[in-house]
Amino acid sequence: MSIIDIEYKRGKTMSSLAGQLNDKQLEAMKYTQGPLLVLAGAGSGKTSVITRKIAYLVKHCGIPAYRITAMTFTNKAAREMKERVTKLLSREEAKGLSVSTFHTFGLNMLRLELKHTPLKNNFSILDADDCKRILMDLMHRDNLSGAESKELIAKAMKMISDWKNDLIPPEQAHTTCETAEDVQFAHLYQLYERNLRAYNAVDFDDLIVMPTRLLQENAEVRERWQNRIRYLLVDEYQDTNTAQYILVKLLVGVMGQFTAVGDDDQSIYAWRGAKPENMALLNEDFHNLKVIKLEQNYRSTSRILKAANTVIGNNPHIFDKKLWSDKGHGEVIRVITCRNDDDESERVVKDLITHKLMNGKNWKDYAILYRGNFQARALETQLRQMQIPYKLSGGQSFFGRAEIKDVMSYLRVIINPEDDSAFLRIINTPKRAIGPVTLEKLGLFAQENHLSLLSAAGDQRLTMVIPKKATTQLAEFADFITTFTRELLEDDEPVPIIRKMMVEAGYIDYVKESAATPAQEKTKLDNIEVLYSSIQSLINRAEDVDEKNIESVIRKMVLLDMLEQQQEEEDTDKVNLLTLHASKGLEFPYVYLIGLEEEILPHKNSIAADTVEEERRLMYVGITRARQGLTITLAEQRKAGGQMKQMTASRFLDELPQDDLDWLGRKKKLAGDIDPKLQAQQYLENLRSLIKR
């Protein structure tokens, strides 16, 4: 191929990549001379910029895909990004490209660098429930008060998580303590980490913290990864915590070949350790940092953007930006004042039905957003009464329920005796008088002898390190699992055996005894029945004889567990009910933003702690989800502890541009006298928009 042909081809692919990008997006795509921060406002097409930049780096900068890494925060975002990149590159060109969440990246790195970590092969990843249980057992062991308090356990978990994400090791945690409770948590942190290592396990935070520490402390590993990653792209940069920021910094080294994309106005995860100030740090750590602002919004009308810009303008900013759109002025923003919370949900649902009928829209075109999950209850009741299909996001998934995780853990140990995290979940569910000291010793014995925890539990040599009573308990449990494994693998009808196993394990009695109310007991037992039925229907549906065995069925169930979230995301025609946090990154033609009252939005905790700025960012996120229509509601009274409480309208309503609001239910707030001509004009505009409908 001649040089002219090559140049022609390059020019052609360039124009296809550049197609549909505005000037600022194009600048962000082509800038590769040093560190780049792309300030991407809501709906400004940041995913297009990231995906096209990856293609640009491969096609025009000659960087092979396996030397490019892109990181984001959710599996859904990573999947979407990867899909879009693969459409821009050939299969050969995309080979080895890494697009993942921070945690998946960390997990892969730990696996590749295992010998440089305190972990052994087959290490387990514990979920939040497993970690809670360990902390509870440790508190019991040390007779610490509050072992029964869910609030205290949650507080301890949050504190330990914060220490980890700020890269404070257990032995240094006490230096940051301010109260006696903090000192207790610092002690717990030490015990907890010791236990994790004994179990050859990591928690979710470790997937970031361990790789970061490894890069900090090991020059050889650091050099290897800096050479490996020629270009790094980070999405949702405003959501990074300290450990993630340092991880990024260590991966890019002094060369700083990276693009960070984020929006400080959409930083709403401070409670999870996110630090929007990481954006300002970039400026300090990389003196040659280039900043490109994406301010054109492709989603919303000008009126919606004006409202968003006006509200967020009350927050201090590191970088100023103003969203704009060419989608026209758009519909007026309605504010509906309701008598109470029941009236609010009734009016929202009736308004939504009316709007759908008048405009011939689909249910999925509507989203109702709220600050707290409790606000969804009254809405659900109304929607069910009116027989309207809806989808509740952010609720607990079926496989996320404790009783399902318990039964699945019994089954997981049966098909994989090496599954240590499943073993740890069930060894004391129900209680078998096997304490954390015994389990720690069992973990160390298993590691020394290269055994799984289950194999170690049945090993006769255990009596040398653990007292006789405890070894007898462990041996009985190991024997119980072995017996049922044999029965399940030999029988063509596994479900009755699973049923028998859960009864004999004492689990069904445990569910009945531990349920707080008869209704809760019934729900839990019903859920277990649904699980049994699902296993049976998978067996019935299996076409291949080999797939009818219990092993393949449970593997499918474990996979279903992982895929469940993805299934949820399928495009079905249902009204969307979401918290403001869960709505981030999504968009809908028509949005109802409910509960605009002081102590709800902004939340009472943020008012008390003087962190209203984050709540204002939540309001901004809520407004910018709407493409065409935005309706805001508030209640004058709300039920609180069986009493009706008088509510105050949210301060954010005062911060909205009053000329763009149409108040229903009470007089519009007037700043001084209104010009009658303007009033007449407004009236005509409203009539016109009604006629258009």
- Residues catalogued as catalytic: 46-47, 235-236, 266, 625
Residue 443 and residue 427 in contact, taking contact as beta carbons nearer than 8 Å: no
DSSP structural state of residue 92: T
Q: Which residues contact residue 591 at a Cβ distance below 8 angstroms, ignoring those fewer than 6 apart?
A: 366, 367, 368, 369, 622, 623, 625, 626, 629, 630, 631
Q: Which residues contact residue 10 at a Cβ distance below 8 angstroms, ignoring those fewer than 6 apart?
A: 59, 60
Q: Please tell me the distance from the alpha carbon of residue 194 to that of residue 610, in angstroms, as a whole number.
A: 37
DSSP structural state of residue 531: H
For the beta sheet containing 661-664, the strands, ordered from the edge strand earlier in sequence to the opposite edge, are: 390-392, 575-579, 366-370, 588-593, 626-635, 333-338, 661-664
Within 10 A of 118 (CB to CB), how many other CB atoms are there? 12
| Burial class of residue 28 (count of CB atoms within 10 Å of its CB; 0-12, 13-18, 19+) | buried
Residue 445 and residue 462 in contact, taking contact as beta carbons nearer than 8 Å: yes
The CA-atom distances, in angstroms, between 201 and each of 192, 204, 333, 561, 665 are: 11, 10, 51, 21, 57
Residues in the chain: 693
Give the tokens for residue 164: 């980890």
Among candidate residues 633, 639, 629, 591, the one with its CA nearest the CA of residue 337: 633
Q: Please tell me the distance from the alpha carbon of residue 593 to that of residue 580, in angstroms, as a whole number.
A: 9
Q: Which residue has the tokens 């249910």?
A: 363
